[in-house]
Structure 1
């Protein structure tokens, strides 16, 4: 799918592609450190990548989200962990743009290069108090948090009677939370997805965003950021952010597999070149089709949502659910392709330092993210097709 982007956006994509060999060379370093190397984050910042979805009034590009996803896919094709962190950290400016202007000014008013990490599962507790909320708790899996000075945290809101009255995102500055190093894992090792701990602290209401409102494609920040970009559904933007790196990993795995097979000689088959094996050719044909299908459907759905917004129309629930359907199936297609390529690559693919074995581990690690839970997303789509009520606020 060839896209024509604005020149300043295309310049970012070109800059990102120039960095891919370096990211690939640093992949082992990232795994050893258990965090994306500082140099990689700095280089991405210099290309303008982290500004792609940031409002123009804060030196952002307000870019086409397809451009953002394209950059993420390419980064992940060089290193899965760098792609994952780039995706989840890079998408946060889009949500910050929906917050009250007071919160936006606090984040970017004096430094427009400020970055945020997140952990959206509502594992924390917020209690309503005068002017805002008292927030406390522990959150897990905050990818890239070592490179960020704010965090977005999900929390259930309780009233004075102990009843849940809302589900909100809370924007918290670095001095009000602790990062706990717990990230010892077999996949996505370089993402530094550590725990966040908040002792009871006051969060002003302007620094929160109701997920009920977000589910309606609304937010107070739209009063100052009126681009169509910020009228797209939260769950469409964010779940696509989780699927895209995995599709990128599949893209990188495919490229390495083809290169390896062109050089490989199969001793068990009397020295036959692997590239002459007709079954090997069938495998790469199937795998490439799965990868292309995953990407094409993901981007086509985002394009369709954009078209509704451009016409001033409400995005149909069926389309929002289709985004989720094709997002989880896109993840599944990408992982199936990686599995097939890995299985057909021979013993050399097991060696440390090969992209294939790392992509296999990273993709399966990414699969366990809540956004990639296939049964729930598919059940919702099917239920809506049967005429059953589905809560649009969550999708």
Structure 2
């Protein structure tokens, strides 16, 4: 897709939303986003938004990418989640050595990449690279991916961990195990992937320590500001933005459905005239606005400072993570309030409100959405204490 300008992508995605919403139930039943939907999103340029320009990508401000993610998630939470997680991987791949980028995008610049970052893989040093073995869970969208980014530890002769790396492996080196059967985000196809003794050349690894220092070998080929932003900000936002989008879609459905509903109990009357319902709508709208404004403000400020080569202060990195997990918390509160006040009809399976409620709760348990631990890190920074965390 050659035309990947932000406005063009937004317009194309807007036209796709009704179809994505129509296929939401099927995604839940099959436990995967359809090939049709992934192809449509690819043709719209979504998966090129954070890809380097030298491979035909848009290399855009990530604020625009997350705006698209929220729109897709409003139509289908599972599709929004896969869009976000798969769509953020070009940003990280751009930090790998140039040879790794050529391996993936040289043959086909539309190739998609999945991930599972938990360091459950084991790397043994061999001539020219490493030997990798492991099995990873929660690899969202892996059915559609030609490559995978996987977390692994380098182990020494006595089995002691020596380093924590993210490794890049082709589809020919991993097997997908169909195990995804969960209560929320059912359509994400977050299956297990397994690698059994594959060779990983040196140019397909990225040290996590280097990543946390805002460095990466790929910055020499991709010097733009997008690739000087913190992993903890960009990736963590990718697992909160779909939740925020899902609750926005839930809110829109709630208001449209309840506007003309007449109560059959509690004295009857139109639901919209109930002051308690009016207060609930106001609270939910405020939570969504607060979360969206904070996240967009922080992402834009990170991008601006990276563009100005000012360096990114720890205070901003901590604030970004603080507001990101608070956005998750706000999404949960909003979803709970809508579900509670929608009445018995929200219990019906397949109802957009109950689906969004399940999706938001499921996504909230991702490690990047750990509210209390992340807020504690912000508090440490505010008190002048040292903060060390790979997601900051």
Q: Distance in 2 between matches of 1:306 and 1:116?
A: 23
Q: What secondary structure does 1:265 align onto?
A: coil
Structure 1 match to 2:13: 16
Q: Structure 1 residue 284: deviation in Å?
A: 0.5
Q: Which residue of 2 aligns with 1:78?
A: 75
Query: Any unmatched runs of 5+ in structure 1?
Result: 1-5
- List aligned pairs for 1:233-382, cutoff 5 A: 233-382=230-379
User: Conserved in 1, the CA contact under 8 Å of 2:61 and 2:300?
Assistant: no
Measured in 2, the distance between the counterparts of 1:165 and 1:305 equals 32
Alignment partner, residue 163 of structure 2: 166
- Structure 1 residue 7 displacement after superposition: 8.3
Aligned residues: 390
Which segment drifts farther, 349-358 or 236-245? 349-358
SS at match of 1:183: coil
The answer for unaligned runs of 5 or more in structure 2 is none
Q: Aligned match of 2:202 in 202, 205, 212?
A: 205
Local SS of the residue matching 1:185: coil
Q: 1:216–1:392: 8 Å Cα contact kept in structure 2?
A: no
Residue 25 (structure 1) aligned with residue 35 (structure 2): no
Q: RMSD of aligned C-alpha atoms?
A: 1.2
- Between stretches 376-385 and 79-88, larger displacement belongs to 376-385
Distance 1:86 1:217, change over 3 A: same
Q: Secondary structure at the match of 1:120?
A: strand
Deviations 1:101-150 (A, max 9, x none): 11000001011110000000111111222221111111000000001110
TM-score, normalised to structure 1, is: 0.97
Matched, 1:52 2:49: yes
Does structure 2 conserve the Cα–Cα contact (< 8 Å) formed by 1:261 and 1:275?
yes
Partner of 2:112: 115
Secondary structure at 1:272's aligned position in 2?
coil
SS in 2 for 1:199: strand
Give the secondary structure class of the aligned counterpart of 1:151.
Answer: strand
Q: Distance in 2 between matches of 1:159 and 1:283?
A: 57
1:77-96 mapped onto 2 (5 Å cutoff)? 77-96=74-93
CA distance in 2, matches of 1:347, 1:166: 52
**Stretch of structure 1 that moved more, 9-18 or 383-392:** 383-392
> Is 1:216–1:393's contact at 8 Å kept on the other side of the alignment?
no
In the alignment, the residues of structure 1 paired with residue 389 and residue 134 of structure 2 have an alpha-carbon distance, to the nearest angstrom, of 28
SS of the equivalent of 1:266 reads: coil
SS in 2 for 1:63: coil
- Which deviates the most, 156-165 or 14-23? 156-165
Q: For residue 271 of structure 1, report the CA deviation from its aligned partner.
A: 2.6
Alignment partners' CA distance in 2, 1:254 and 1:364: 16
Conserved in 2, the CA contact under 8 Å of 1:317 and 1:392? no
Secondary structure of the residue aligned to 1:114 is coil
Contact kept, 8 Å, 1:159 with 1:165, in 2: the verdict is: yes
| Structure 2 Cα separation of the partners of residues 279 and 46 of structure 1 | 44
How high is the TM-score relative to the length of structure 2?
Answer: 0.97
SS at match of 1:267: coil
State the distance in 2 between where 1:273 and 1:372 align: 38
